[in-house]
Amino acid sequence: MTGPVLVSACLLGRCCRYDGTGKALPELIRLGERRRLVPVCPECLGGLPTPRPPAERQGERVVNQEGDDVTEAYCRGAEQALRIAREQGCTVAVLKERSPSCGAGQIYDGTFRHILTAGDGVTAELLRKNGITVVGESQIHTLL
């Protein structure tokens, strides 16, 4: 497989996570030696500050730990990530698992009790619906 890969910016070490951290994933650095990586942070693209309160999906809504409905910012960020993926010609994305934006396959259940449930983050869901293959970071070996 060739072509550029959309990636969660925090997986490249950008400190854009809700708590102001980021952690570079060595396998992603390796992938970057062979393919062009296109980093995005949907939550930042949606206009949210860093740091920010943690948020979880509650059905179609996204709510932060302070009880604010932040769905609009999450949807705006997802649209921006999709726009960038299309502009850059990305057909695959490597995204941070369990995030309410980037999570693929498993996310927290909306109770803020660290309970996982089946589902995608808002951005992962939109990318998939638009034909982009989404790979969680633990599955990156499938691209190496």
Instruction: Check binding of 101 to ligand SF4 (CB under 6 A).
Output: yes
Within the chain, what is the greatest distance between any pair of CA atoms? 43
Tokens 């109770």 — which residue? 111
| Number of residues near ligand SF4 (by CB under 6 A) | 12
Is the CB of 2 or the CB of 60 nearer to ligand SF4?
60
In the chain the beta strands, taken as DSSP E runs, fall at 5-8, 37-40, 55-58, 61-64, 92-95, 106-108, 116-118, 133-136
The sign of the torsion formed by the CA atoms of 73, 56, 129, 60 equals negative
Instruction: Check binding of 55 to ligand SF4 (CB under 6 A).
Output: no
Structure tokens given for 74: 């999450």
User: Minimal distance in Å, beta carbon 7 to ligand SF4?
Assistant: 8
User: Minimal distance in Å, beta carbon 64 to ligand SF4?
Assistant: 13
Listed ranges 28-36, 37-45, 63-71, 106-114: which one lies at the site for ligand SF4 (CB under 6 A): 37-45
Among 75, 99, 104, 124, binds ligand SF4 (CB under 6 A): 99
Instruction: Check binding of 127 to ligand SF4 (CB under 6 A).
Output: no
CB within 8 Å of 84: residues ≥ 6 apart: 6, 38, 40, 90
Instruction: Check binding of 16 to ligand SF4 (CB under 6 A).
Output: yes
Contacts to ligand SF4 by CB under 6 A: 8-10, 16-17, 41-43, 96, 99, 101-102
